[in-house]
Each structure stands twice: as structure tokens, then as C-alpha cells.
Amino acid sequence: MKIGFLALSGVRVVDPELLSIGVNLPGFVERSKVIASLPSLGLLTLAGLTPAHHEIRYIDIPDVDSADIVATLPGPFDVVAISSFTAMIKDAYRLAARYRAVGTKVILGGLHVALCPDEAAQHADAIVVGEAEPHWPTVLNDIEKDRLQKRYHSSVPYNLAEAPMPRFDLLDISKYNRLTIQTSRGCPWNCEFCAASIRLNPKYRTKPIPKVIAELHRIKQLWPVPFIEFADDNTFADKRHGHALTEALAGEGIRWFTETDISVAQDEDLLRKMRKAGCAQILVGLEDPADGTDGMELKTNWKARQRAHYLESIRRIQDHGITVNGCFVLGLDTHTEASFEQIWAFIQQSELYEIQITVLTPFPGTPLYERFLRDGRLIEPGAWEKCTLFDIIYQPAKMSVDALHKGLLDLAQKVYSEDYTHFRRRQFIRRKQSADRRTARAAIAQRSGAAPGRAEQEASVHLVSAADPMR
């Protein structure tokens, strides 16, 4: 059969005001450019499970309504597999309808399908709910035997030791500035608002390290010095796995980015290994820096607050040369109009290299969505296209929607302004240089018993050049 793997790529914001200021704000635009070009690891994984007798293609579709896609549907295909995130699901349904109209079988899967299976089933010949690995070969076999079922669903957590090799070779590598590898699935914390892979299956699992390295080596055959993004919910949730992973990555000569929680700051040895293994940046959910909030990432952040203050944790991580992308969620139930100023004050004090501000988003299928639905706080239930993390789709507890909107825009203007973006990057480099100097001084003094003045001179010679770590 001819099978098309169709990825709806690109990033989304519906709010025209945010879109228009985004165009002018360097920090905001740079980040969206970086992340806009990532392939769909879910579809590459399915491709890796597809028997060799099928003819397969992977296609990135940034805009399903663009003139070329409407004029000529990519294909022809016997079957198309379309992946789904909530914000693009209506686009996916429109695309599915066009393929079904020409007799192509449409299979839908991915996060949104797992969250809203009954809705998705109306737009496909078959859906796969949850993790696809156990079902994909069966789906294809059933199509060939003309006995396709309407729904395939597994509740047993998939064993990542059996994970297939994603078909990175299907990509035109020159189009991407990063490629993704998954090292774990799920997260032990299960926060109320989380809409990531814990919603496919809540059981937290790690992939055996040799498998991760094999995927990396496969990528390196296609792109010798790649930039990798780990497509995990929380890469260092299991510190033992984290140590083993970073030890295995050391010497691979790659640079990488990942998402994790702030507790990595408590493990200096792990931070050293991360840096040695090429970690350029970690994205950490800080949600709200003020103590005593309802703490969306309640369990993990509460622990971090007990052990060390956020500010200190950020400094500690960044002193290792790993930049922190701190994520703040606006519109939490404890937030008032005064919260924006407080968050801005914290950001300025924090010396964070990168900042992400988003609004609280009740994704369907999350406990947060259920709570807001019960309390009548959803403004437009079913407006999935607005589940972008930037558009406001609920009634905040302690302020109006307009106040939240204004607070978001004002804060975005400050955080992503050209001046402030350059300032925080320079600040990081300066701080890293002095941390390097301190480390080198201490090492030289320890080695030679040299007097501090002499050690300092030598240290400046040994200084590693502190170029922008993300470039």
C-alpha cells in the first residue's frame, strides 16, 4: 500500500494582538522559529513499525488550507496517518475529510485523539487511542485484509525496551534545526494541567540507554553533528536514568535541549555530567515564583522550594553553563492583577537566559479541564484551536479575562523586547565567565599550590570562550 505520514507542523496563536506584537519581539520570534521546525516523532515512530513491503512518505504540512495543499492533495495514497495536537485538530479533521472524499483510508492518532476519542472517531476510518506501537502493524494488516476496526485502544503501558527505530531517514534533514529523541514517557508528578504524554498512559517509563544511543547514532549518520531535543515530559524525573543517560552521551559531541523539573539543581554531579554531555538548555516549569501559591507543579516544585529557593537553583544550573528557559504560567487561580509585576520582578532578579510565558490552558482530557467545566469557567468549550498556551479560554479566578489578556501582552512586551533579550543573554555570558574563572582558579591552586594572584592569571588563559550557548 502507499502510505502517507502527514504531520501538521508549525506553531499556533489565534489572538491577533499577540500575533502582531510577536512579529516585533525578537525573543518571542526567535524561539518560535526554533521550535516551528521539528518533525513529528510520533509519525516517524509509526513509520519505523511499518512493514517493508509498503511504500511510505513523510510529509510536513504547515498549513492545510494553503493554496498548494487545497489544489493538489499530497499523494495519491491508499492510507494516510495523521497526528494530532489539540490546537491543530480541526485542521486535521478538514484534511481527513478531503482524503476520505477521494477514497483514501484515514487513520487518526496522537494526543488529541487520546483525549477526545469519540469526537475524533467521527472524522476517521479508524483511530488509535493512546500509544500506537502495539497497534500500528495490526491496523495495516487489518486494512490489507479489509477488516479495519473503528477503534484500537491499549491501556497496558508500552514497554520502551521494544521501541522501534524511528525512520529519521524519511526526513529532508536540511529543513530542520533540531531532531527529537524520546528517552522516557510520562512523568511521575501528574500535575492537574498537564496535557503531555502522561495523558497517553500515566505510567512513567524510561527507554533503555543503548536504545537512545542507537537512535542518536542513526541520526548522526544523516546529520553528523546534530542538535537534539529530547521529546520527554520530564527527562530527569528519574535521577538514576539521568546519570546513566548523561554518562552515555558524553563524548558523542552533540548539543541538546530538554524539559525537566527544577530538582536537577539539587544534584551537582548530574549538572556536571549534563554539561559534559552537551546540554545547552533545559526548559523548567516555574509556573509562579511566589511562595505559597497553589503550585500547579505542586509536588515537584514544593520539594524544590523546601530545599532551595528558585533563584538559587537557576543560578546553580546556569553556573554549569546550562541555560535555563524558565516557564511562567499566567492566570493561575491565585493570580491577581498584581501578579504580573511580581513575576516581572522575579524574572529580572533571576538572570534567566530564556523565558517562556504562557497562560493557563485547560486542555481537554485533563483534570483542570474537568474542574473548569464543572465550575462553568470555560468560555468556549470545544474551541480547540485556541488551546495554544497563549489564547485565553477560561474565566480566571481573581481577575477579568481582559485583565489577564492585558497582563500577558504587557509582560510579553517587556520580556521579549530587544533590549531585555540582549541584556539577559549578556548577563548569562558574564556570569558564566566568572564561574569558569572561579573553577579554573580553584583547580590550578589545588594542582600547583600556586598563590591566588598567579592562579588567577593562569585561569584567564585557560578560560573556555563563553560564546552564546544556544548558537
Indicate whether 329 belongs to the interface with ligand SF4 (CB under 6 A). no
Rounded to the nearest whole angstrom, what is the least distance from the CB of residue 371 to ligand SF4 in the complex?
Answer: 16
CA distance 343 to 328: 8
Which cell numbers in the block locate residue 241?
536514568
Indicate whether 196 belongs to the interface with ligand SF4 (CB under 6 A). yes
3-state DSSP assignment of residue 407: helix
Among 41, 282, 343, 352, binds ligand B12 (CB under 6 A): 41
Q: Which residues ranging from 254 to 273 are in contact with ligand SF4 (CB under 6 A)?
A: 261
Rounded to the nearest whole angstrom, what is the least distance from the CB of residue 85 to ligand B12 in the complex?
Answer: 4
Q: Which residues of 346-385 are buried (b: 16+ CB within 10 A; e: fewer)?
A: bbeebbbbbbbbbbbbbbbbbebbeebeeeebbeeeeebb
Among 194, 254, 322, 347, binds ligand SF4 (CB under 6 A): 194
- The site partner of 355 among ligand B12, ligand SF4, none (C-beta below 5 to 8 Å per kind) is none
Would you say 254 and 224 are in contact if contact means Cβ atoms under 8 Å apart?
no
Q: Which residues ranging from 206 to 265 are in contact with ligand B12 (CB under 6 A)?
A: 231-233, 259
Q: Which residues ranging from 273 to 312 are in contact with ligand SF4 (CB under 6 A)?
A: 285, 297, 300
The one segment of 38-46, 48-56, 184-192, 406-414 that binds ligand SF4 by CB under 6 A: 184-192
Indicate whether 79 belongs to the interface with ligand B12 (CB under 6 A). no
**Helices marked H in 262-338:** 268-276, 298-307, 310-319
Indicate whether 231 belongs to the interface with ligand SF4 (CB under 6 A). no
What angle do helix axes 339-350 and 310-319 make, rounded to 10 degrees?
30
CA distance 140 to 194: 32
What angle do helix axes 26-36 and 16-24 make, rounded to 10 degrees?
100
Which cell numbers in the block locate residue 81?
496517518
Indicate whether 233 belongs to the interface with ligand SF4 (CB under 6 A). yes
Q: Which residue has 546556569 as its cell numbers?
A: 318
Note the residues at the interface with ligand SF4 (CB under 6 A).
Answer: 187, 189-191, 194, 196, 198, 233-234, 261, 285, 297, 300
Note the residues at the interface with ligand B12 (CB under 6 A).
Answer: 7-13, 35-36, 38, 40-43, 45-46, 81-83, 85-88, 107-112, 115, 128, 131-133, 180, 182, 195-197, 200, 231-233, 259, 363, 387-390
